[in-house]
Structure 1
Amino acid sequence: MGGATSKNRVQTANNAITDEKMEELKMMTSLTAAELQRVLVIFNKLDIFQTEQVDFSEILAHVDFIKNSPFGERMLEVYDLDCSRKLMLKEFAMLCSIFVPSCPREKKLKFLFDLYDLDNDGGLSTEDVFDSIKKMVSSEQTLKQHGGVKWK
């Protein structure tokens, strides 16, 4: 699926990265080589202008597990390390790695804490919890208005 490996580079749909970069991404994300390859293919499909960064709007429009979450935009904000409203490959891979079984529990818990810490103050205030619940309830009401979730 678009990935031929040479001695020093991994070729993906639009781009090639070095083996060293691939190893660095594997170490920082807990993704297997196959999982990382899939992440690279998705990222490169979203990076249509080959700028090595993808705008939130592209991710929200095309990545189902983010698009369908009431916390989709917040997930992106948690991993947008430079607050640019764009994710670089490293940030996108770190986000995707949270959802694989091999991700350490501590990383998942840190992600959840950061997800609900809406004001980024390092704590979960009553307002953070209330606003998080409002997001979930609002999402549930939207689902009911549009006929619910359809399972394939």
Structure 2
Amino acid sequence: MGNKVVAFTEEQLDEYQACTFLSRKDILRAQRMFRQLSECHLPSVVERECAASLTVPYAALDTLTELRRHFTPLCLQENPFRRRVCEVFSTNGSASLTFDQFLEMFSVFSEHAPRDIKAIYAFRIYDFDGDGFLGESDLLHTVKHLSHDLLTPDEYSTIVAKVLEEADVDCDGRLSQSEFIHVILKCPDFVPNFHIRI
């Protein structure tokens, strides 16, 4: 018992639980994962400033089995969006995460997060150029990631054109966040596949 690390005060745990869709058990499990990834650079008690500033680089995050197997229909396949997910949750787009960002990522991908929040983050992940729309380039990147870049240029063009034809309500050649959310929430596989189990 003397070797047990006291990661948070009760007040900190209450705060994290109130601000996330995670249980106390999930928060503590995420903290242990983050501690292992940071190679024990975390103090035994994680103060608020430390949780918001100490980062773990993407190279370490990329080793997480939970992140590598997310977004895939088959558990044996790797998640082609793992770097993009980390970029979206990192404030500066570097894909390195602080503990707070790490916890936010697991919160959004938890089974308890509302589907609307999941859809907003899915939009951000697919918005590669960060302009607030899914244009042809964003859709092309998304399809290439999903297909592991195995299709022909004609097949990519056909898929992108079909997506825009189906979802681009205002016919401006790109999808707004609301157009994307309208379509993605109709997909029965979206919520179950937009999930990471801690």
Is the TM value for this pair above 0.5? yes
Deviations 1:11-68 (A, max 9, x none): 1xxxx2233332222222210111111111111111115153211110102x113223
RCO comparison, higher one (Cα < 8 Å, 6+): 2
The CA distance in 1 between the partners of 2:150 and 2:112, in whole Å, is 30
Task: State the TM-score, normalizing by the size of structure 1.
Answer: 0.75
1:59-84 superposed Cα distances (whole Å, 9 cap, x missing partner): 102x1132231000000001001334
**Taking structure 2 as the reference length, what is the TM-score of the superposition?**
0.59
One-letter amino acid of the structure 2 residue matched with residue 71 of structure 1: F
**Against the structure 1 CA distance between its residues 85 and 99, is the aligned structure 2 distance closer, same or farther, given a 3 Å change threshold?**
closer
Structure 2 residue ranges without an equivalent (≥5): 43-53, 69-77, 152-198
**8 Å CA contact retained: 1:40, 1:89:** yes
**Where does residue 56 of structure 1 map in the other structure?**
58
Correspondence for 2:36 = 45
State percent identity of aligned pairs.
26
Moved more, 36-45 or 22-31: 22-31
Larger radius of gyration: 2
1:124 to 106, 128, 134: 134
1:140 positional shift: 6.9
> CA RMSD for the aligned pairs?
2.2
1:74–1:115 Cα contact (<8 Å) kept: yes
Counterpart residue type for residue 65 of structure 1: E
Task: Structure 1: give runs of 5+ residues left out of the alignment.
Answer: 5-9, 142-152
SS at match of 1:17: coil
Task: Classify 1:82/1:27 alpha carbon distance in 2 versus 1 (closer, same or farther; 3 Å).
Answer: farther
Q: Go from structure 1 to structure 2 and tell me whether the alpha carbon gap of 1:140 and 1:19 turns closer, same or farther (over 3 Å shift).
A: farther
Partner of residue 26, structure 1:
17
Instruction: Identify the structure with the greater strand proportion.
Output: 1
Q: What corresponds to 1:65 in structure 2? A: 66
